[in-house]
Amino acid sequence: MARDQLAFVRTHMLPEAPPPTAQTGAVKWLRENLFSSPGNALLTLVSAYVVFQIVISTAPWFINGVWESPSLTACREILDGKMGGCFAVLTERWNQLLFGFKYPSELYWRPGLAFVLLFIAAAPVLFGKIFPRKMLIFTGLYPFIAYWLIWGGSVLVPVFALLGVLVGAFTYSRVVTISAGVAVIAAFVAALIFWILSGYVTGPMENVMAIQAVASRDMGGFMINLMLGVVCVSLSLPLGILLALGRQSSMPIIKWICVVFIEFIRGVPLITLLFVANVVLAYFLPPGTNFDLILRVIIMITMFSSAYIAEVIRGGLAALPRGQYEAGDSLGLDYAQSMQLIILPQALKISIPGIVNVAVGLFKDTTLVSVISMFDIVGMIRGPILASSEWNGVYWELFGFACVLFFITCYGISQYSQWLERQLRTDHR
Amino acid sequence: MTTMTDPPKASFQLSMLIYDTRYRSYTFQFIALMLLLLLLGYLGANLVSNLAAQGQNISFGFLSDPAGYDINQRPIEYDSQSSHMRASVVGVINTLIVAVLGCATATLFGVTAGILRLSPNWLVRKLMAVYVEAFRNVPVLIWILIIATIMTASMPSPNQFRGDNADASMLLDAFAFTNRGVYVPAPVWGAGSLVVVLTFLASIAGVFYYRRYATKLLYDTGRLLPMGWPSLVILFVPTILIFFVLGQPITLDYPALKGFNFDGGLHIRGSLIALWFALAIYTGAFIAENVRAGIQAVSKGQTEAAASLGLRPKRIMNLVILPQALRVIIPPLISQYLNLTKNSSLAIAVGYMDVTGTLGGITLNQTGRAIECVLMLMLFYLTISLAISAVMNVYNNTIKLKER
Amino acid sequence: MKKTVFLGALTVAGLAAGASAAATLDDVKARGKLNCGVTTGLVGFAAPDANGVWEGFDVAVCRAVAAAVLSDANAVEFVPTTGKTRFTALASGEIDMLARNTTWTFSRDTDLKFDFVGVNYYDGQGFLVPKSLGVSSAKELDGATVCIQTGTTTELNLADFFRANNISYEPVPIETNAEGQQQYLAGACDTYTTDASGLASTRAAFESPTDHVILPEIISKEPLGPLVRHGDNDWADIVRWTFYALVAAEEMGITSANIGELSAAAGDNPEINRILGTEGDLGAMIGLDNEWAKRAIAASGNYGEIFEKNIGEKTPIGLARGLNAQWTQGGIMYAPPFR
């Protein structure tokens, strides 16, 4: 009877009805993301118009692009008044843009191979979980192999350089039980003595297993940017760690040496340091010494980046809770042990994003060497290529190419660092 | 019953310098100091012997010699007979000009892009992401060169403004965009213009006073005075009145084509524009990231708490989010300003006569005094950055969370 | 890790240093290469061609010295230098000689401690303007925008010229010739000023060189010549007399074509014999063998040949000999006697 009083009772479930069209799929997405309010709609329309204009005005430039032509005039003839890019300059001067105009063309494979090996060497460092740890041995050998490939000459030079490192490492491991600081200095001194002595061996035997030597001033193009970037970052990491530890040290003299060095380097623009490399450094070396510009530049850029990296690592050290230091002490570890086993692994982990930022910044700053008449990629573009009568006036294609090269590299590195940051996040969120 | 033996009162032995932790640090510091002094001494000795071999010396006397070259952008009086010192000062001022302009513009770009990256609008968000990534990942030198090339290669030359059927024309008859730079009208300060300026300054003070008064009234009585339009009225009406009462003492000098170039007006050179915009856009991309990180660092709970107090969204932003976000944003912002100032030394790539161009460029070349010039250049930049760091430290101390 | 490579190289450099403390000549011989500073690229004077081989008027001087000293005209390492780096490069020993259209001035010779060994091109600073500008004299350039390479004497000359004539100008400083060219062609400056020879060389690279003129005023004396470090007089002598051998060769009619024949045996002209080493031993006096000058001349011809090949009227650069003709031809190129 109660049932009779109800007009309608549903006895089974209705099938699910689709949401209103305004709340699904593309329409919903559009409403939420592009036209959520009148102001937003206006913003969307304006940006869409801007994007449209950019695409419309640059598309013919790419589509009509000329990829084969010996010179700008020939290229303009092919284009016949149409708008289009003369990308032929890239194909024509490809090798110059990458290797500079003096690196012997039959030897291009050597830097090429070094570049490929760089990935193999970097892989176990970058993706430690995927690649076997044994590959790290190759990473350790890589600098010497790359040096030999790029500069050529006798194989003895890199071999003795490697032996010098081993001598240094051995000295360090023997002295470190006494004092970490003394050990570092002793290691440097031992390696230096070994190198100076080995110079007497490699000097006369310069033709042992020699491949054709290439002088540094023959190098150029994007190769220089990569070389300076890789070399200076890897050199400045250990230096930066030492400087950071020194700045944290309780010994006032050590601390002040490091503070003055770091603050001085960070306070001046890189270009003034390059001026030093270019015009001043020669005054401070023994009379008659001259090592080539590239080496001087490497010294100055390494000093520059090690100061920045030191500050990043110092931030990492400072971020560690005091308890970690105390824990190390209470276990009875000495300074070197507690640093190696407890503090640095954690501090470096926190510092990775900062270090990568410094590395990317440094890699971009390697273009500054063009100001001191080195022919890196920017120097090649501004100098020999734009000055040549064939390609005088091709700006956008060349600068665009340089932009693309740098963008790919730097964006890739920063994406990697973000990935790594997620990987290393061991706290629970 | 003395089971505890006294520590052996061993006399001081030489080996303790190495093995005893009490003395080891002194030993080590001593060694380090000696090595440092040795290194400095070695470098110094080399310097002396190199200079002696070349018959040169270190002397700053050249600074008072006539420079002999001309500078195009002269904020202070300078001609080719002025001293090298004065040329350096011109360069310093030019550096400061581009740094200040660049910082202001970079902040504008950066804050806009940073806020827009958090916009609910997908397209705008993506566009801003493209801007930030594109500019952060390409060297600033390339951007400077690109903008300099746009200035010289794509803008019309003054010649093209000539004739009845000119290829190019001035904007509103007041602005000329040429490949030598941009010419804009310049104010001419006539008699009485000081009064106008003072009135304007007084108006600014008036606006602040009015706002404070309105806030006080709000707290005391709860009466809400309008803020927006009265501020504008106070700001502009008195100045405009005085301006016309005094018979328009400030006039504009319009640029006009005369001889080879535009004459009159204010000439903003292409090199300045290239440097200024490239630095601003590049640094702006970094600032955008700082701003975004700063806003995101304020936890969502703060917004919700403010909303639950009944604050309106605009007030939530002004009173709750921004004060907390600024604490995160400002320190990296200042270091970006520092970077911009240091990057302005790339002026040398486009021929802007900053201190690197005058002291580190032409003066160095003409006098051959490399050590002196580079040293002075470094000291200048060092002073600037130490000054900025000092300001930053003071600021950091004032905004430090005062935990009680 | 990489510090080792760098330190290793440093050690090697340190060893090289031991050797280079000796005289420049021994140094060059030990190295087997002559380090010669040139411009970063000025067509006709010194510029790398498409294969990276350096060519030009200044380059030929370097090659001649290399041929005289090392018996190989190709044993030259060309070090590109800018206006800023050239003197430091020479002073620090990075280069053995500088052949980079460098003006011989009092202060460079004395205060900067260099020795100019001669003048291989008598030049003067001029102005390049587009014909369409309608200017026929540099004195009409009042208010003009002038593109100028920084770090050179041209900058000082320019300031002096405009001040002396009491006219104003707007300098646009540029770093390299390529940039100057770009700015000038885009109309960012009304006129481009540098040495007249450089202007001719720059104009030659234009799409339509005839649309541009070099104004008649030459506002300065610019004797351009190779230079070496002050103090090593033996080396300065070698570079000086190698250069004069090229000049004298033109005067005597020794060319790259007939040099083989002339040097086969002593001929009638004793001075030719002395230069080519078939008579006397001038070579020993400067520490070289007797055929040094023969090799220098054979490297790229005598002075006249080098001029014609690189910058002469038949080349796109199209410079007339003018002052640079032999003294017998109305010029001032004059080699001291080889005796």
Q: What is the pLDDT of residues B19-49, one digit of tens each?
A: 676 777 788 788 888 888 999 999 999 888 8
Distances (CA, A) of C224 to A188, A295, C36, C39, C150: 49, 31, 16, 13, 17
Q: What is the pLDDT of residues C273-289, one digit of tens each?
A: 888 888 888 888 888 88
Q: How many CB atoms lie within 10 A of CB B349?
A: 28
**Intervals of chain B under pLDDT 50:** 1-2
Which of B79, B177, B183, B365 has the most C C-beta neighbours within 10 Å, making it the best mutation to test the interface with C? Answer: B365
Q: What is the pLDDT of residues A368-421, one digit of tens each?
A: 998 887 888 998 888 778 877 778 778 888 999 999 999 999 999 888 888 888
Q: Return the CATH fold of C2-122+224-329.
A: D-Maltodextrin-Binding Protein; domain 2 (3.40.190)
Distance CA C27, CA C21 (A): 8
Mean pLDDT of A79-97: 83
Q: What is the pLDDT of residues C89-146, one digit of tens each?
A: 888 788 899 998 788 988 888 877 889 999 989 988 889 999 888 888 888 888 888 9
Residue C210 has a pLDDT of 85
Q: C81 Cβ partners below 8 Å, 6+ apart? A: A373, C37, C38, C39, C40, C89, C95, C98, C100
Instruction: State how far residue A370 is from chain C, nearest Cα, in angstroms.
Output: 11
Instruction: State how far residue B99 is from chain A, nearest Cα, in angstroms.
Output: 13
* Chain C residues interacting with chain B (CB cutoff of 8 angstroms): 83-84, 87-88, 91, 111-113, 132-133, 141-145, 150-152, 155-156, 158-160, 162-163, 169-175, 182-183, 186-190, 230-231
Q: What is the pLDDT of residues A229-248, one digit of tens each?
A: 988 988 899 999 999 999 88
Distance CA B117, CA B293 (A): 11
Distance CA A269, CA C148 (A): 26
The residue among C226 and B121 whose pLDDT is bigger is C226
The residues of chain C that CATH labels 3.40.190.10 are 2-122+224-329, 125-220
- CATH for C125-220 is 3.40.190.10
Q: What is the ipTM of this complex?
A: 0.86
Distance CA C2, CA A309 (A): 16
Residue C5 has a pLDDT of 42
CB C147 within 8 A of CB C174: yes
pLDDT surpasses 70 at C4: no
B137 and A411: CB-CB below 8 Å? yes
pLDDT surpasses 70 at A82: yes
Contacts of B136 in chain A (CB under 8 A): 410, 414
Contacts of C171 in chain B (CB under 8 A): 69-72
Distance CA C203, CA C211 (A): 9
Distance CA A82, CA C84 (A): 42
Contacts of A292 in chain C (CB under 8 A): 94
pLDDT surpasses 50 at C230: yes
CB C284 within 8 A of CB C290: yes
Provide Rg for chain A, Cα atoms. Answer: 30
Residue B365 has a pLDDT of 81
Contacts of A192 in chain C (CB under 8 A): 7, 11
B139 and A414: CB-CB below 8 Å? no
Distance CA A107, CA A129 (A): 35
Provide Rg for chain C, Cα atoms. Answer: 21
